[in-house]
């Protein structure tokens, strides 16, 4: 790779967490153990299905070249320049799903004209429509719309709804738009072995395009919602969805609230953790990627690359004390980068967020404040 350093990309330093009551520490230790077991299993899957072979590394390094020099290195926001104006879907199809208490769930498909970044074409451009399960209050007016973004390997609305507190949101008076991210759930390509595989493929161009496409689709959905309602619109994202939510907060200023939950903030750092533990490179002379090489390759879409554009009072970070999938260093780095907005450290981990009732109370209070308080600059 030919990058001249990491420029303005802050590092993911060690997290300094507030003290935790001993009664909750047991839950955090339990959740951490569960995450650790899953992380070992994930390592085996990554090694078997996603980890590149040593002979593939030169080609992968070449795939990073457009992002470590030239225009996208100097001005990474150009990669997402479409956010500077609303983008309307080419066609919207709605299909009744089921009745909800006080409203209706509608399955929507939004066709778009997405195209990869000029000169950095993805080998497999996406053409399928955006899928959204839209929970709407009828006839009452909702307080706001929560655009809910799921995590990696998820993408099935009924499961996503539980993880993202969709029922809680709806019962509290908020509409919910459960968006299925590219290459996930019902949008999983036939050639993929699991939901999300083609999103995380170890090719810098393709992964960066997958993130760009996801941001484009979130932008389209938010723009479309703003056209059909004058109520506030914001984002609640989990894990990968938290990453995308945090990135959007550095690209758009008009989001009424942004709530990243257990968000990674540097894909290069996460990828390096798998490379450094990979069995494929043990006992070989292969020069696997360094941490800085990976951070450089994915810098274009790291939330740490962009200053926040959303008012700090409208941001809430949710982080697990015992998270082993997305270590606490990541949300803590985002908290520092965003100039210390509200952050809630819950007991448990990535896979086991204990005391969900308490977690929902924090989310609900934040949503109510954002809906009731006019936007202010700080």
Model confidence pLDDT, tens digit, residues 268-313: 888 888 777 777 766 665 556 788 888 999 999 999 999 999 999 9
pTM to 2 decimal places: 0.92
Q: Which of 118, 375, 76 is nearest to 251 (CA)?
A: 76
Token look-up 């451009």 returns 125
Q: Can you give the pLDDT at residue 28?
A: 83
Round to whole Å and give the CA distance between 144 and 229: 9
Q: How far is Cα 349 from Cα 358, in angstroms, rounded to an integer?
A: 15
Q: What is the mean pLDDT of residues 97-117?
A: 93
What pLDDT score does 375 carry? Answer: 47
pLDDT-wise least confident of 15-19, 119-123, 184-188, 217-221: 119-123
Q: Are 308 and 281 in contact (CB under 8 A)?
A: no
pLDDT, tens only, 5-42? 455 667 676 677 777 777 788 888 888 898 889 888 88
Per-residue pLDDT tens for 136-163?
A: 998 888 999 999 999 999 999 999 999 9
* 302 contacts 328 by C-beta, under 8 angstroms: no
Residue 353 in contact with residue 320, Cβ under 8 Å? Answer: yes
* Strand blocks (E) in the chain: 91-100, 103-111, 130-137, 145-149, 175-180, 233-238, 258-261, 316-320, 342-346
Tokens of 69: 């020099």
Ramachandran angles phi, psi of 23, nearest 5°: -65, -30
pLDDT at 50: 75
Over range 38-57, report the average pLDDT.
79
The stretches of 183-262 forming alpha helices (DSSP H) are 204-228, 240-249
Smallest Cα–Cα separation from 1: which of 208, 290, 277? 290
Tell me the average pLDDT across 57-86. 90
The mean pLDDT of the chain is 88
Per the DSSP assignment, residues forming a β-bridge with 149 are 179, 237
When the candidates are 1.20.1090.10, 3.40.50.1820, 1.10.3720.10, 3.40.50.10380, the CATH number that belongs to 22-372 is: 3.40.50.1820
pLDDT (0 to 100) of residue 170: 97
Is 50 within 8 Å of 197 (Cβ atoms)? Answer: yes
Residues present in the chain in total = 378
Q: Which is more confidently placed, 378 or 309? A: 309
Rounded distance between C-alpha atoms, residue 263 and residue 152, angstroms: 11
């Amino acid at each position: 790779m030919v990058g001249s350093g990491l420029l303005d990309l802050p590092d993911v330093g060690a997290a300094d967490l507030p003290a935790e009551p001993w009664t909750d520490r047991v839950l955090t230790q339990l959740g951490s153990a569960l995450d650790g077991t899953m992380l070992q299993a994930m390592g085996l899957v990554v090694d078997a299905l996603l980890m590149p072979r040593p002979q593939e590394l030169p080609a992968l390094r070449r795939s990073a070249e457009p992002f470590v020099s030239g225009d996208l290195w100097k001005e990474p926001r150009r990669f997402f320049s479409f956010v500077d104006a609303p983008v309307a879907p080419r066609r919207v199809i709605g299909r009744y799903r089921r009745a909800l208490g006080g409203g209706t769930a509608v399955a929507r498909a939004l066709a778009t004209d997405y195209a990869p970044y000029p000169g950095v074409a993805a080998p497999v451009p996406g053409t399928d429509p955006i899928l959204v399960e839209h929970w709407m209050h009828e006839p009452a007016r909702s307080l706001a719309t929560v655009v809910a973004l799921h995590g990696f390997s998820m993408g099935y609305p009924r499961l996503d709804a539980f993880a993202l507190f969709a029922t809680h949101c709806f019962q509290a008076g908020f509409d919910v738009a459960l968006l299925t991210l590219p290459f996930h759930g019902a949008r999983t390509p036939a050639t993929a072995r699991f939901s999300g595989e083609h999103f995380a493929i170890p090719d810098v161009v393709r992964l960066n395009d997958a993130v760009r496409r996801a941001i484009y689709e979130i932008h389209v959905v938010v723009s479309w919602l703003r056209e059909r309602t004058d109520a506030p619109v914001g984002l609640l994202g989990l894990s990968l969805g938290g990453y995308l939510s945090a990135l959007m907060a550095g690209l758009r200023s008009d989001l009424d609230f942004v709530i990243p939950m257990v968000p990674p903030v540097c894909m290069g750092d996460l990828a390096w953790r798998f490379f450094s533990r990979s069995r494929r490179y043990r006992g070989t002379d292969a020069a696997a990627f360094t941490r800085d090489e990976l951070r450089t390759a994915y810098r274009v879409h790291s939330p740490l690359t962009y200053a926040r554009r959303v008012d700090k009072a409208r941001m809430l970070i949710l982080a697990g004390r015992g998270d082993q999938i997305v270590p606490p260093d990541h949300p803590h780095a985002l908290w520092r980068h965003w100039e210390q907005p509200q952050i809630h450290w819950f007991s448990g981990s990535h896979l086991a967020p204990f005391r969900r009732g308490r977690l929902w109370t924090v989310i609900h209070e934040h949503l109510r404040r954002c809906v009731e308080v006019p936007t202010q600059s700080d």
